[in-house]
Copies of this chain bind each other. A is one copy, B any other.
Amino acid sequence: MVKMKRKENIEGCSVECTLNVLCGKWKGIIIFHLLKYGILRFSELQKLLKNIVTQRMLTMQLRDLEKEGIVSRHIYPTVPPKVEYFLTDKGKSLAVIIQGLNDWGSDYC
């Protein structure tokens, strides 16, 4: 459930709106780690996700988050290429929520 953008807003409930940003495989963890480490290279993110995720998936999730204005990236024009990902202010504002999700998960899963 990832790209299921919804335009209709259910009477003052913006819950789904936020979930649309967070739901998508690995997005939560990606933000979690970026909050923790600040800046991470593509390969570092992949390692943190224990190589469970394929490059393709990681790329897609990062692109989605970029579109939403949650993460941004800095590309070094070097060889071999080096790309760093970091949270935008909008992304950092998710800190409380991510922390809450993490805590709840620790308690109830």
Interface check A79, CB cutoff 8 A: no
A81 to B34, CA, bound (A): 50
Q: Which of B8, B14, B17, B104 contacts A18 (CB 8 A)?
A: B104
A93 to B50, CA, bound (A): 30
Q: State the copy count for this chain.
A: 2
For residue A28, which residues in chain B have a CB less than 8 angstroms away from its CB? Answer: 15-16, 18-19
A14-B105, A48-B10, A97-B104 given; A23·B29 CB < 8 A: no
Interface size class of A (residues with CB under 8 A): 35 or more
Query: A interface, by DSSP: helix, strand, loop or mixed?
Result: helix
- Please, which residues of chain B bring their CB within 8 A of the CB of A19? 22-23, 28, 101
Provide the A86-109 mask, 1 if CB < 8 A to any CB of B, else 0: 000010011011101111111111
Q: How far is the CA of A14 from the CA of B33 in the complex (A)?
A: 12
Does A29 contact B1, Cβ atoms closer than 8 Å?
no
- Residues A93 and B105 in contact, CB atoms below 8 Å apart: no
Q: A96 — which chain B residues lie within 8 A by C-beta?
A: 100
